[in-house]
Structure 1
Amino acid sequence: MNRTARLYALVEDLRAVAPRPLTVAALATRFEISTRTVQRDLQTLLETGVPVRSIPGRGGGWSIDPEMTLPPIRLTADEASALITALAAADASTPYVGAARTAAQKIAASMTGPASAAAQELAARIVTLPTRSDCEVRTAVEQALANNLVLRLSYTDAAGHESDRVVEPAGLLTADGRWYLIAWCRTRRAGRGFRLDRIAAAAPTSEQAQPHNLTELLLGSAAVGAVRPTALTSLRPPPRESD
C-alpha cells in the first residue's frame, strides 16, 4: 500500500471506531509498518488539518472527530491537479478563500511521485492580480451565510453614496470577476446585490434570517439569467413527487 492510500486508510480506521482511540501499536500491526512510520503519518494528517488528536495515558491513543471530516474521496491524478489549480487561483477577494487554500494543501499533501510534481508545476503557472479585500468583511459574510444570520452592512454604491443596511443573506453571485452578496434588504424592502469590495464593514447579528429564494431575489435584475455551476447540479435534492 502506498503512502497516499495508507493516509486515507488511517483516517477511515480512526473514523470507524470514533470517538474511541486506536493505539499506535494497533495501527502499526494493522498496516504492517513500524510505529515510527505510523507516528510520521499521523503527524502529516495533523499538519494538513485533519482533526486527529492524541489522547495520553492508559486507554489512550489516537482518535478523530467524525463530524469534522468526510469519508475519503478517491481522486484521479488529473482530478487532483485540476482541483489544486482551481483552488490556487482563488484570490484574497474570493469567499471562503482560507478554506480553499487549506483544501489545496491537503490535496497536495496526499499526492506523491510524478502526480504531485505535475500538480505543483501546473499550480505554479497560475497567477492572479491582487484585488482589494477586507478579510473581516469576507469572514462576516461567510459566517452570516453559513449560520443564516441577519447581517449589518456599511455599503457604498456605484454612485459613491454610503448607507447602512440590515440584510438577510440568500447567497453569492459571481460575475465578471466580481463577487456579490445577494440578500433581502430590510432598508429597501427588496432583494439587492451588494458587491463585496464595496462593503466597508459587516457584522453578523445573533438574529436568524428569514429564508429567501435566491432565484426569486434575482428576478428583475441584471442577473436574472444566473445559473448554478454545472458541477453542483447533482448535489440538488430530487423534486418531491406530488401526492
Structure 2
Amino acid sequence: MKVKNVVEYCLSQTFYNYFTNGAISIKLERLISITYALLNNEVISASELADKYQVSQRTIYRDIEAIGAAGIPVVSYQGVNGGFGIIEEYKMDKSLLRTVDIQSLITLLHSTATVFKDYRAEETLNRLQTIRQGDPNPSLTLDFGSWRTNNEILHTLRKAIEEQNVIRLEYTNAGNETTDRVIEPVGLHFKYYSWYLHGFCRERKDYRVFKLSRITGIQCLKERIIGNHAQAPRDIWNNFKPSPEMDEAEIVVSGSSITKALDTFYGDDLQFNEDGTLTCNTTFNAKEPEWLLSIVLGFGENAVVNRPEELKRLLREKIVKMLQRYPEV
C-alpha cells in the first residue's frame, strides 16, 4: 500500500464516522498533518507532536496506530532522542496528496459542511484549499442538501449523536403504522437519494434504519446513551434486498410526462419510439405494487401500461375507486 493511501484509509475507516463523531474533520486533518511531519523529519517525538496539535500523547499514539493501519511503515525509536519516523524506502515520494486526492477531500467535506454548517469541516476546507494545486474548478461536486430535506431534523439528530443523547421519534413505517420509538442514535447515512438514521430501537431491541422523511416528530431526551454501540453493524442495508417476488412492467409514456419518466425510471431499460413516446421497462415488487401504481397514476392520461395484466387490473380498480369519490361530477 502506498503512502498516499492514508487518504483512502481516512475516508473508508474514519469518514464513515463523520456523522457519529463531530471531531472527525479535526482528526482527519491531524492524521494527514502527522503523516506529513513523519515524511519530512527523520525522527519526531510523541511529546513534540502532542504539543504541536494540542492533544495528549495517548491521542498521538492512537493516531500513529491509525497511520500504521493504513499501511504506512511507521518506526518507533527508543532512547533520549527517540520518537517516530517512516523508513527511508517509503520516502521516495513525499507528495502525500495528489491534486485529485485534495480535491476529493474538499468535495466530500464541502458537501457535508453545506448541510450541517460545520465550522470544523469549513476550517479543514480552508486549509486544504491552501495546498490545492492546478485547476481550482472541480470536476465533481456533491450537495447532500435538498429542498425536500428537513435540516432541523438533521441538525437535531447530529447533535444527539455527538452528545450521546437518547431520542424519541414519532415514526410511520412502510405499513402506514405510526408508532413512538425510543432510539439510541448511531449514525446518519445518505443513500437512495434520501437521509436515513441508523440506531438501536429499544422497542425492537435491535438496530434499525429509519427514513428521515417518515419522522413526523422528534424529541431529544436528556437521558444519555449507556450502551456501547462501537460494534453496531455497519452493513445496515442487508435488509434492503430485492424481493424474490419481482415482476417486469412495460409502460409507454407520452407528452409532458416524458421528462418525469426519465427521472423516475433512470437506469432502467428506456426506448424512444418513432411517434415520440417513451417505452419504459422496469421491475417492481409484485407483492407491493403500490409504489409503481402511484407513479403511473401521477402520469395521468400520458401513460399506458402494456404489461403485466395484473398491474393493469390493479390500476383499473384504483381508477374506478377514485371516480366513485366524485359522483357529483
Query: Normalising to structure 1: TM-score of the pair?
Result: 0.48
Structure with the larger RCO, 1 or 2 (CA within 8 Å, 6+ apart): 1
Question: Between Structure 1 and Structure 2, whose CA radius of gyration is higher?
Answer: 2
